[in-house]
Amino acid sequence: MSFMLTCPNCGDRHQSEFSFRGEYSKRPKQDDGFPSWVDYVYMKENVSGKQYEWWYHGSGCQRWFLAERDTTNNTDQTTFCFDDRQEFMNKESNADA
């Protein structure tokens, strides 16, 4: 399946320029227990629908960024650098509560 992806730095590019680097999941705190780290490293949700993912623009600017992508159709995408998205950061903060 082929689709276009928007690099936050370079703009719209063919998906073949990028590498999918996995689902985003919140990193455990350093002193969290071993089971939390096992879940973080190995357990993936494999969502059918929208999810946050890490992508790498290897054939372009070589930046890592996040994409919110609908895995069922590859069309509803929002991409952003991790530090640039206040809304995303707020969502992460609320997950701790």
Interface residues with Zn ion (CB under 5 A)? Answer: 7, 9-10, 57, 60-61
- State in angstroms the smallest separation of the CB of 52 from Zn ion: 18
The least distance separating Zn ion from the CB of residue 67, rounded to whole angstroms, comes to 12
Instruction: Indicate the residue among 9 and 72 with the shorter CB distance to Zn ion.
Output: 9
- CB-based contact 55:64 (threshold 8 Å): yes
- If the CB atoms of residues 15 and 25 are measured against Zn ion, the closer one turns out to be 15
Q: Report the C-alpha gap between 23 and 6 in whole angstroms.
A: 17
Residue 39: enclosing H or E segment and its boundaries? helix 34-42
Distances (CA, A) of 7 to 14, 30, 78, 81, 97: 10, 31, 10, 9, 32
Q: Shortest distance, CB of residue 9 to Zn ion, whole angstroms?
A: 4
* CB closer to Zn ion out of 45 and 83: 83
